[in-house]
Chains A and B, each alone.
Chain A
Amino acid sequence: MGGYGDVQMIDENGIRVDGRGPADIRPITIETGVVPVADGSCRMTWGTNEAIVAVYGPMEAHPRKIQRQDRAVLDVAYNMAPFSTTDRMRPGFNRRSREVSKVTKDALESVVMLELYPRSKIRINIEIVSAEAGTRCVGLTAASVALADAGIPMTEMVVSVASGKINDIVVCDLNKEEDNYGEADLPMGILPNTGELVFLQMDGDLSQDEFKQAWQYNMDASKEIHKIMVDALRGNSS
């Protein structure tokens, strides 16, 4: 979260810098089968974010020590490509990427039917090739599309979206400029058919009322995004 400053990001009519209203999300496109050698894959653009996700498996879990006798494990690796950010991202170990990988894995393990594949692993590689704001949401949403494309059984799809606060106003889906001046960020992973949650983070400063508003924006947006995911998965198959 950046500073507060005097920068006015929303005009008196509630219109944001890129012309959106408070509840509007950025444009989204989803395409499956973009990594032809993978079992399943997805490219998702969301504003100027772009994620490519490939799914491989189920395959034997290596190394042995990660194997579980009663279920499969997900091997999730979230990574930002060196050219995905304004200042070049140095390849290699990165604490932020490790954390995002972990919370993404925890979210997806809640819906993938792991018990069907003892001792196996399913590899999910999330590559952010262009980052704007909200890449963890893009990664998680795209990963659930790629898993469906790979034929991995899941009880629900996960839709991830964030709301935040700028100039003391709660808005949905912050873009890069808004994120720079944002005062709070609430990313959630939502199961759109039931409204249940599998992923939740928050940082910043929100009153109880603002928090409720942000929560509601995310719930509403998840339904809209889910439609785009369903269309993509329906359009790309025989």
Chain B
Amino acid sequence: MSIPIVPNLLRDHLSALAHSDERIDGRGQWEGRLLEVEHSILPRAEGSARVRMGDTIVLAGVKFQIMQPYPDRPNQGGLMCSAEVRPVAGRNWEAGPPSPESIELGRVVDRGIRESGCIDVDSLCIIPGEKAWQVILDLFAVSDDGNLFDAFALAGIVALRNATVPAERFEVGDDYPLGVSKSPIMCSYHKVGGRFVYDADSREELGGDERIHITLGDDDNVHSLQKGLKGIFTTDEFQEIMDNARKRTKEIREVMDSL
């Protein structure tokens, strides 16, 4: 990813806005952009979702493969999550092998979903020691206007919840819905103008500092954390965004459950 220049005026303006409790697009400190979620929109995927947050748009698709279980876990299938941000999604994203930025994206989303234990890997076993399902979640950015993390994480879990195991096509029984028992939700906070805000857009990302990603499960259990980019934060600041994440994840979970 090529890094554009950061206008000094933008940084000054963002900090003036923060002092007046304003944001560059008129939102409140903890207010997200308009959220739209759709599922089962890709005909070739076994599960899929499209998430739109403002001008950030992502797709998620679930595919299945048959794998041989690992020798140390003969009764378990696997989950693989990969994120790709191709040049289609923005002027600054470049072609070529996955950039460190897109690898970080995929891994942070992967940890949140995996560690929540939302997929029962034992149920993915077909013949112990011989055959098991590998669930592959591919995250794909269509338009990057900031905060791909939350969009990816939400699209990922929605696609998994709507996935069907294609057992008939692989001639190992009847199709059945993939069991997803939990709903991990990620909330990302960016330090902009000296304070943390929820769901930063691309201008706030450009003129901001560090970001923190929190994934919480249904019972507020913490499943993944990640601090990215240059910057220093305090325990009090973290406590504040953690408190907010508890509220936000509940709201997003309600949106997801209403689908």
Contact = CB atoms under 8 A, between A and B. Distances in A.
Interface of A: 34-38, 48, 50, 52-54, 56, 59, 77, 79, 81-88, 91-92, 123, 125, 127, 129-132
Contacts of A56: 87, 91
A86 B138 CA distance: 14
B63 A88 contact: yes
Interface in B158-176: 169
A83 B95 contact: no
B138 A37 contact: no
B43 interface: yes
Contacts of B143: 34-38, 54
Interface residues on B, range: 20 to 34
B42 interface: yes
11 contacts: A38-B88, A52-B88, A83-B45, A83-B59, A84-B44, A88-B63, A125-B87, A127-B142, A130-B42, A130-B43, A130-B44
Given A82-B138, A88-B136, A127 B88 contact: yes
A35 B143 CA distance: 5
Nearest to A88: B63
Nearest to A81: B140
B61 interface: yes
Given A81-B140, A83-B44, A85-B44, A36 B145 contact: yes
A125 B86 contact: yes
Nearest to B95: A77
Q: Which 3 A-B pairs have the closest CB atoms?
A: A83-B61, A125-B88, A36-B55
Interface in B25-75: 42-45, 48, 55, 57, 59, 61-63, 65
Nearest to B166: A86
Interface in B138-155: 138, 140, 142-145
B44 A127 contact: no
Interface string B112-129: 000000000000000000
Contacts of B144: 37
A91 B44 contact: no
Nearest to B137: A83
Contacts of A38: 88, 90-91, 143
